[in-house]
Chain A
Amino acid sequence: MRKNPVWLWAAALAAYAFLYLPLLIVVLYSFNDSRLNAEWVGFTLHWYTELINDTNMLVAARNSLLIAVAASLAATVLGTLAGLAIYRYKLRILPILAVTPVAMPEILLGVSLLLFFNLVFRPWLGLELGMWSVIVAHITFCIGFVTIVVRVSLLGMDESIFEAARDLGATPWQTFRLVTFPLILPAVMAGALMSFALSLDDFVITFFTAGVGVSTLPLQIYSMIKIAVTPEVNAVSTLLMLLTLGMIVLASRIHGKAIQSTGV
């Protein structure tokens, strides 16, 4: 194997530093014994005890996770199906319609979803806005991302593989289960992780579609801006990062190749 040149290592190192240094600082300051976030004073676990006693923040974190899990699961299933459909039926309009919610400004999507929920769900189904409306809204904008990723991965494949499976006597379901799905699994996983992350940190759409009494982490943190953000936010961010990291490690254990080939 040819040895990698030094500059490549340097570039890689710089890229990782670029990605992780800001996060590292967030983690570091969550242990800082000062509410200023300005200079290092001393080590403390004070902000974590503060966090454990802060019901608002914990409820918001719980809501965020719940919404992200539900939305990313649903969006992954629907988005994967949409990706397959677009691949199968070569209709021009389908990919355009799937991509539109991705390209649309968030504020527009947020307001129109709120109007839609108010015009349709409240009078017809008697449903008030709540957590469900946030989940539905998040599914809406996540589907597009999953669809795109799945479709791109399908486009890169040799169609004759699927034909070969059918020739050898596989039913359409068997073809999907044994051939197509394993091949697109990395893309599906990537879509799911992307949806999870997007849902977790969405502010604008959540702000509009959240019902009374439903807060998420971004809403909670943003509303604290007026009174200055404390390192408690760093603490909760650190825990979330740990959780996300844990999920990725777990996912790579379950399906190592899938993670590696998506580059996550």
Chain B
Amino acid sequence: MRFLALLLLWVSPALHAADVLHLYNWNNYISDATVARFEHECRCKLVQDYYSDNEEMLAKLAAGAAGYDLIVPTGNAVESLIKSRQLRPLDKRLLPNLKNIAPAYLDTGFDPGNRYSVPYAYTITLIGYNAEKLRELNLPTDTWAVILEPKYLAKLKGRVTVLDSQRELMAAALKYLGYSANDTDEAHWRRARDLIIRAKPYWAAFNASSYIKELTVGNIWLAHGYSSDMFQAQQDARQAGRPFTIAYSTPKEGAVLALDSMVIHKSGPRPDLAHQFINFMLEGRNSAELTNLIGSGNPNRAALNYIDPAIAANQAVFPSPDILRRLEMLRDLDRTQRRVLSRTWTEIKVR
């Protein structure tokens, strides 16, 4: 009997649920202070579930999982959700703070007119590096050339990693060649492929998971990766008292931008709270807290005043208009293009 009572006590927090907003989010993608403030403001509870991959989230929803009010998918995942009619159109009258978002992040290819989505935060795919080492070797840090040109790579042999991602690596090479990251001309892809094959012998690895650690430990001096990861590496190196610093910059040729947006799922029981949450997150202070936490790019103009000055000065968080113009979001490829890209990738990998 006592066991049963204990069991009930254990399960009970899930039982008395009056006003609850369910957010399906990336892990560590909202600060605790923000959550507390929202719960206070709406007199409700914010319950989060996490996914670590867009495909994972799409698969679960496609199989019929229900009850999520809000989701924070990346770029094209929004488009998939719109196409499968899973999203509720936004009521803009409830979102007066939408004016805070910089126009550059609105009216995107995946949701023209922002009928369903509101920008949340973004990352840029760029280069992170060991600042002391690259200065010592007298290498440039503002261009893709440093991961693609043998004349620079010769000094860095075995100390460079690139992302193990077909789209991201091709995008870097295409950008360096002066094409769009979404260019699908096969002749351009072949030029990009040749460039990558020429640089490959100098790279230590294709790495999508552990480059944060490798940079922080000092095994790797230059890595192609996401801005939020580089921020993490920078902080880790500082906290561990490393004799060097990790820095990162957006190459001047341009780069890939991945924008995460808030969308309202049809299955969610509380669209009212969902709108309230979106409007709340569009306030400068709340949006800024996320950037201060994980160094994510911030599309919110009102957030700047609340952001840690060291972060605010970083071009990867607030790109200058000049860089911003050269950033691109990746578009989905059609089936034929995917096949060609896969073949190109195999050619790169087997060399």
Give the contact-size bracket for chain A. 35 or more
Cβ contacts under 8 Å, B53 to chain A: 226
Hey, what's the 0/1 contact readout for B12-55 against A, CB within 8 Å counting as 1?
01100000101010111000000000000000000111111100
**B-binding segment of A33-41, A98-106, A251-259:** A33-41
Interface residues of B in 178-231 (CB under 8 A from A): 209, 212-213, 216-217, 228-229
**Can you list 12 pairs linking A and B with CB atoms under 8 Å apart?**
A36-B213, A39-B217, A41-B240, A59-B13, A66-B11, A114-B64, A212-B24, A212-B49, A212-B66, A213-B20, A224-B52, A228-B229
B253 at the binding interface (Cβ < 8 Å): no
| A213 partner residues in chain B, CB cutoff 8 A | 14, 20, 22, 47, 49
Q: Which of A7-15, A16-24, A128-136 contacts B (4 or more CB under 8 A)?
A: A128-136
Q: How far is the CB of B271 from chain A (nearest CB, A)?
A: 15
Indicate if A176 sits at the interface (CB-CB under 8 A). no
Give the CA-CA distance A36 to B52 in the complex, in Å: 20
When chains A and B are docked, how far (Å) is the Cα of A200 from the Cα of B246?
Answer: 38
> Which positions in A face B, CB cutoff 8 Å?
34-39, 41, 56, 59, 62, 66, 111, 114-115, 118, 122, 128-131, 207-208, 210-215, 219-220, 222-228
Query: In chain B, residues 92-113, which have Cβ atoms closer than 8 Å to a Cβ of chain A?
Result: none
A115 to B59: give the CA distance in the assembly, Å.
12
Q: B247 at interface (Cβ–Cβ under 8 A)? A: no
A207/B60 in contact, CB under 8 A: yes
Q: Given A223-B26, A224-B27, are A36 and B51 also a contact pair (CB < 8 Å)?
A: no
CA distance A224 to B294 in the complex (A): 13
CB distance from B220 to the nearest CB of A (A): 12
**Residues of the B chain whose Cβ atoms lie less than 8 Å from the Cβ of A220:** 27, 50
Bound-complex Cα distance A35 to B213 (A): 10
A162 to B14, CA, bound (A): 48
CB < 8 Å neighbour of A130 from B10, B14, B229, B239: B14
Asked whether B150 is an interface residue with its Cβ less than 8 Å from the other chain, the reply is no
Q: Are B49 and A215 in contact (CB under 8 A)?
A: yes
| B65 and A225 within 8 A (CB) | no
> Is there an interface contact between B49 and A228, defined as CB atoms closer than 8 Å?
no
In angstroms, Cα B14 to Cα A214, docked, is 9
Query: Do residues A226 and B47 form an inter-chain contact, with CB atoms below 8 A?
Result: no
**What residue of chain A has the Cβ atom nearest to residue B47's Cβ?**
A213
Provide the residues of chain B in CB contact with A38, threshold 8 Å: 213, 216-217
A208–B51 touching, CB < 8 Å: no
Least CB distance from B12 to A in Å reads: 12
- Chain B residues positioned under 8 Å from A207 (CB to CB): 56, 60
Chain B residues, CB < 8 A from A130: 14
- Chain A residue numbers with a CB within 8 Å of B228 are 227
Residues of B within 8 A of A223 (CB): 26-27, 50-52
Pick from A34, A212, A227: contact of B232, CB below 8 A.
A227
In the bound complex, CA of A222 to CA of B232 (Å): 18
Q: What are the 3 A-B residue pairs with the smallest beta carbon separation, nearest first?
A: A223-B50, A212-B67, A223-B27
Assuming A66-B11, A208-B65, what are 18 further A-B pairs, CB within 8 angstroms?
A35-B240, A36-B216, A36-B236, A38-B216, A59-B13, A62-B10, A118-B64, A211-B67, A212-B67, A213-B14, A213-B47, A213-B49, A222-B52, A223-B50, A223-B52, A226-B26, A227-B26, A227-B232
- How distant is A114 from chain B, measured CB to nearest CB, in Å? 5
